[in-house]
Amino acid sequence: MTDPNHFDLRQGIVDTCRQMNRNGLNQGTSGNLSHRIPNGMLITPTSLPYDRMQPEDIVAMDFAANYQGNHRPSSEWRFHRDILRARDDVNVVLHTHSTFSTTLAIHERGIPCFHYMVAVAGGNDIRCAPYACFGTQALSDYALKALEDRNACLLGHHGLLVTAQTFEKALWLAMEVETLAKMYVHALAIGEPPRLSDAEMAQVHEQMKRMRYGQAPDLDGVGDVPRASPEPKGAAH
Ligand code: 13P
C-alpha cells in the first residue's frame, strides 16, 4: 500500500540534501529540493540547515500552495511548484548556490557549447535566466523560460537549478553542470574558448541518445547494453 506520508521520499530529500553538502554543491541554508507527489510536492523547509533536517521536517504542499507541516516551505516553492506543474517529465527540482555555476550567473553568463558535455542538460547551451529577487513569481517565470527544452539553467546573480526524474539523476546533473561551469571559468582565464559547431553538437546528441549516455543502470535501472545478449568485446557502442 502507498504510504500517504511518503516517508521514503522524505528520507530521500534529506539524504540528497546532505549529499549536496558532502559533494561541495551547497552550504549553510542555501539551496532547496522538491519531489513530486500526487497533486503536489514534498519540499525542503525554509532556512533549516541540512544537517539538522529530519524527514518529518519536509513540507507537503499541493499545487494550489496549501501546505502541511511543522515548518514553512522553502521560499522558492513557486519555481518548484511551477516547474513540476508544467513539466510532466520532471519529478525532482534541485536548487543550489554552487560556486562555479553561481560565479557565471553573477556575470549573467550561461554555459555555451565549449565542451560536448553541455549536451547532458538537453541542448547546445545552458541558459542563464535574468535576475529576479528570490522567492518571487518573476524568478519562477524566468526560470521556467530558461528551462525550455533543458534540464538545467543558471539563475542570474543567484545560482543553479536542475530538474530530473530521480534524486540520483538530479545530483549527477548538478555535479556535471557545476564541473562544466568550473571548466568554463578556468578556460575563460586564457580567453573566450572556441565553440563546437551545431553539426558537432548534433552528433553528440545523437551519440548520447544511441548510447543512452548518462543513463547508467544505477541511475535509472536500465542498462545501455542489453544484458541478455551482450555485444561482442570490442564492438560495444
Ligand atoms: P530557502 O531556505 O527558503 O529554501 O532559501 C534558500 C535559497 O537558496 C533561496 O534561493
Domains contained in the chain, CATH given = 7-211 (3.40.225.10)
Cα separation of 1 and 65, whole Å?
26
Per-residue model confidence as pLDDT tens digits over 139-175: 999 999 999 999 999 999 999 999 999 999 999 999 9
From 16, 32, 47, 57, the mutation candidate for ligand 1 (largest count of ligand atoms within 8 A of CB) is 32
Q: In the structure, what pLDDT confidence band is assigned to residue 219 with cuts at 50, 70 and 90? A: low
Active-site hit among 76, 108, 200, 231: 76
Residues 6+ apart with CB under 8 A from 199: none
- 91-113 average pLDDT score: 98
- Which residues sit with their C-beta closer than 6 Å to ligand 1? 29-32, 44, 46-47, 74-76, 95, 134
Q: What predicted TM-score, i.e. pTM, was given to this entire model?
A: 0.92
Binning pLDDT at 50, 70 and 90, where does residue 53 land? Answer: very high
Check if 76 is active-site.
Answer: yes
Q: Give the number of the atom of ligand 1 that is nearest the alpha carbon of residue 158.
A: 10
- All 3 cell numbers of residue 99? 560556486
The residue whose CA is least distant from atom 10 of ligand 1 is 134
Distance 161 CA to ligand 1 centre (A): 12
Distance separating alpha carbons of residues 99 and 8, to the nearest angstrom = 30
